[in-house]
């Protein structure tokens, strides 16, 4: 992989079989990557990157200044979030299969005695996954009608550098498991964003036009999502 250097900014350059050049700045460190068409020479890519330096620095400052969640230990009265609301964790030890119950402002976790932190995290993650599988289908159905597109399948997984992705070839969208913790309007914004990619692959004026038409407040939802604390770990975007 080629690299470009501009002072303290290093840009990874990957050339592949694509039509347009794409520039991305990734959390949590502000790593910069350019994906460019095979036909594009390195000097042209360098000129493009140079023209984007101000934007890159602004994005890096935003990412590096974003609040981080403290590492979770899955202890009693620890804060956890669901649909943007804060809950206190309550651990109840029982000789039975693990489960989660939502009670008022408490997430009650039933686990066997001596359950490890990793297992507790897994139990809560699977509960989040199950809740998203309930929440997302009605959103997809709603926006299929509004956008006149068809989503053949959706999936939920942990991702470090994206809130969602879209595979246009098979009409499948993937959503970041972390969205279960965010306000519903933020989750819906990501669902719409990925579904609009079924109409337009890139974030060009046509894409923005669709977003403006169908979800006029999408920028405020994006800002809300970007203001919220992100996981302490390095997470896939």
Residues 136 and 216 reside in one and the same domain: yes
Instruction: Report yes or no on 90 lying in a domain.
Output: yes
Domain range spanning residue 178?
79-236
The confidence score (pLDDT) of residue 70 equals 67
Residues 136 and 196 reside in one and the same domain: yes
Instruction: Report yes or no on 20 lying in a domain.
Output: yes
For the chain, the average pLDDT equals: 90
- Report whether pLDDT(207) > 90: yes
The confidence score (pLDDT) of residue 119 equals 97
Which of 11, 30, 64 corresponds to the end of one domain?
A: 64
pLDDT per residue as tens digits for the range 212-233: 999 999 999 988 887 765 553 3
The confidence score (pLDDT) of residue 236 equals 32
- Report whether pLDDT(35) > 80: yes
The confidence score (pLDDT) of residue 42 equals 93
pLDDT per residue as tens digits for the range 74-103: 999 999 999 999 999 999 999 999 999 999
**For residue 210, what is the domain's CATH number?**
3.30.2010.10
Q: Say how far apart CA 51 and CA 132 lie, in whole Å.
A: 40
The confidence score (pLDDT) of residue 228 equals 64
Range with the largest mean pLDDT of 18-22, 127-131, 227-231, 232-236: 127-131
Instruction: Report yes or no on 71 lying in a domain.
Output: no
3-state secondary structure of 159: coil
> Contact at 8 Å (CB) between 38 and 16?
yes
Total structural domains within the chain: 2
The confidence score (pLDDT) of residue 235 equals 34
> What's the maximum distance between 2 C-alpha atoms anywhere in the chain?
65
Whole-angstrom CA distances from 226 to 9, 26, 182, 204, 230 are 22, 13, 11, 21, 8
Instruction: Report yes or no on 115 lying in a domain.
Output: yes
Q: Say how far apart CA 108 and CA 125 lie, in whole Å.
A: 14
> Contact at 8 Å (CB) between 147 and 214?
yes
Residues 112 and 216 reside in one and the same domain: yes
pTM of the model: 0.73
């Amino acid at each position: 992989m080629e690299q470009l250097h501009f002072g303290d900014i290093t840009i990874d350059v990957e050339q592949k079989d694509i039509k347009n050049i794409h520039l991305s700045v990734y959390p949590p460190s502000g790593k910069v990557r350019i994906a460019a068409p095979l036909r594009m020479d390195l000097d042209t890519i360098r000129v493009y990157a140079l023209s984007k330096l101000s934007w890159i620095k602004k994005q890096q400052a935003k990412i590096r200044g974003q609040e981080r969640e403290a590492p979770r230990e899955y202890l009693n009265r620890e804060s956890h979030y669901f649909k943007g609301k804060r809950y206190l964790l309550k651990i109840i030890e029982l000789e039975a299969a693990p489960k989660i119950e939502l009670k008022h402002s408490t997430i009650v976790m039933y686990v066997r005695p001596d359950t490890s932190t990793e297992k507790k995290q897994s139990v809560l993650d699977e509960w989040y996954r199950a809740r998203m599988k309930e929440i997302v289908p009605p959103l997809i159905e709603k926006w299929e009608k509004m956008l006149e597109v068809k989503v053949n399948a959706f999936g939920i997984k942990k991702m470090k550098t994206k809130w969602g992705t879209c595979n246009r070839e098979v009409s499948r969208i993937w959503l970041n498991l972390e969205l279960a913790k965010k306000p519903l309007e933020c989750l819906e914004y990501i669902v719409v964003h990925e579904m609009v990619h079924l109409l337009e692959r890139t974030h060009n004026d046509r894409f923005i036009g669709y977003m403006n038409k169908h979800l006029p407040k999408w920028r405020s939802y994006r800002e809300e999502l970007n203001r919220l604390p992100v996981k302490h770990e390095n997470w896939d975007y």
